[in-house]
Amino acid sequence: MRILEEEALGGSLDATGSAEQGFSMRGSRMFGAAYELMYELLSHIPSLDDPDKSVAQDTLDFWVEAPWNDKARLVEHGRIVDAAAFGLANKDRVDLIGFMLRGEEVLGARRIDECFDAHFFATNFWFMWRSMFGFETWHSAAELRRYLLRFLRLFPDLPTLRIIQSTRYNGRDSIVRPIVRWLERQGVRFDVGVQVTDLDFEAVADGRQAVRRIRATRAGAPADIELGDGDLVIVTLGSMTADATAGTMAAPPPPVQRRSGAWALWERLAAKSPAFGRPAVFCGDVERTKWVTFTVTHTDDRLVRRIERFSDSPAGQGGLVTLKDSSWGLTFHLFHPPAYAGQPPGTQVWWGYGLFADRAGDFVAKTMPACTGAEILTEVISHLGWRDELPALLEGARCIPCLLPYTTSQFMPRAPGDRPPVVPPGTVNLAFVGQYVEIPDNVVYTVEYSIHSAALAVATLLGAPQRVPAAYRGLEHPNALIAAIKRLVD
CA distances from 241 to 405, 413, 444 (A): 7, 19, 14
Cβ neighbours of residue 98 closer than 8 Å, sequence gap 6 or more:
none
Task: Quote the pLDDT of residue 257.
Answer: 77
Question: What is the phi-psi region of residue 316: left when phi exceeds 0, alpha when psi lies from -120 to 50, beta otherwise?
Answer: left
d(CA 443, CA 239): 16
Handedness of CA 152, 156, 161, 164 (dihedral sign): negative
Strands 209-218 and 225-226, bridge-based pairing: antiparallel
Cβ neighbours of residue 403 closer than 8 Å, sequence gap 6 or more:
244, 245, 246, 247, 252, 253, 254, 255, 256, 290, 291, 292, 357, 369
pTM for the model: 0.95
Task: Quote the pLDDT of residue 292.
Answer: 97
Which residue stretches of the chain have pLDDT < 50?
none
What count of other Cβ atoms lies within 10 Å of the Cβ of residue 192? 12
Per residue in 211-241, is it b (16+ CB within 10 Å) or e — as a string?
bbebbbbeeeeebebebeeeebbbbbbbbbb
Task: Quote the pLDDT of residue 205.
Answer: 83
Task: Quote the pLDDT of residue 342.
Answer: 93
Q: Closest by alpha carbon to 121, among 95, 155, 156?
A: 95
Dihedrals phi, psi of 137, to nearest 5 degrees? -65, -20
What count of other Cβ atoms lies within 10 Å of the Cβ of residue 1? 10
Q: How many residues does the chain have?
A: 490
Task: Quote the pLDDT of residue 477.
Answer: 79
Cβ atoms of 33 and 153 closer than 8 Å:
yes
Task: Quote the pLDDT of residue 82.
Answer: 97
The pLDDT tens digits of the residues spanning 400-450 come to 999 999 999 999 999 999 999 999 999 999 999 999 999 999 999 999 999
Per residue in 341-357, is it b (16+ CB within 10 Å) or e — as a string?
eebeeebbbbbbbbbbb
Task: Quote the pLDDT of residue 103.
Answer: 87
d(CA 65, CA 162): 13
Cβ atoms of 116 and 67 closer than 8 Å:
no
What is the arrangement of strands in the sheet containing 245-246, beginning at the earlier edge strand? 79-80, 74-76, 321-323, 330-334, 348-354, 291-298, 397-404, 245-246
Task: Quote the pLDDT of residue 8.
Answer: 87
